[in-house]
Amino acid sequence: MPTSDAEGKDWSLDWFRYHLPNTVTDVGPGEGTYAKLFRPVHEGVWWTAIEIHKPYIAKYKLKSTKTRRMYDEIHVEDVRESEDHLFHRDLVVLGDVAEHLPREHAVALLERIVAAGAWNILVSVPIVESVQGEVDSNPHEAHLHQWDANDMDAVMAGLGGHVETFRGGTLGCWWWTRT
């Protein structure tokens, strides 16, 4: 769904406050959960969104306006086809995104993000069985892989760098930092 469980958001916000990134790419922002959560903390951030489902841009008012800041730049595309420069950011957010990709595509994407020069990566995924099909006429909402927390631990550790982890009852969150 284009929404996210509240679990792990305070933990993520604490890490955002600690790192205070100036450039963020939010992959699959849906309703803009992370921009809404993080923007008030550090308003000088340049926010880029990569959203595959164009109707979400208008539905969730993702474009910045003179009176409301959401995303400064929006790319409507499949993140697997995005230019690498979109990942050369202080922070790349994959908030409830990896489960919408086949496992090998999610791992390859994370490796690409690191290779492209991201300084921090925030990943959030359901760590319990979370079967989901198409939502709002969006076939990309289907869950294609059920992540296990230990599996994501191994994937994130395999990226090098330093990893902090939050495991809730429903969601797991990982904050990776380049060392």
How do residues 22-38 score in pLDDT, each as one tens digit? Answer: 999 999 999 999 999 99
Written as six digits, the tokens of 60 are 């969730």
Residue 97 forms part of a structural domain: yes
Structural domain contains residue 4: no
Question: How many C-beta neighbours within 10 Å does residue 165 have?
Answer: 16
Q: Is residue 103 part of a domain?
A: yes
| CA pair distance 125, 52, nearest whole angstrom | 18
Q: In this structure, what CATH number is given to the domain that contains residue 164?
A: 3.40.50.150
Q: Measuring CA to CA, which residue among 123, 83, 92 is closest to residue 24? A: 92
The pLDDT tens digits for 78-114 are 999 999 999 999 999 999 999 989 999 999 999 999 9
Angle between helices 103-116 and 149-157 (to 10 degrees): 30
Number of structural domains the chain divides into = 1
Q: Whole-prediction pTM value?
A: 0.92
Q: How confident is the model at residue 133 (pLDDT cuts 50, 70, 90)?
A: low
Which residue range forms the structural domain that includes residue 40? 9-177
Whether residue 1 is contained in a domain is answered as: no
On whether residue 3 sits in a domain, the answer given is no
User: Would you say residue 104 lies in a domain?
Assistant: yes
Q: Is pLDDT above 90 for 75?
A: yes
- pLDDT of 2 higher than 50: no
pLDDT, greater one: 175 or 2: 175
In a domain, 157, yes or no: yes
User: For 163-172, what is the mean pLDDT?
Assistant: 96
Asked whether residue 2 is assigned to any structural domain, the reply reads no
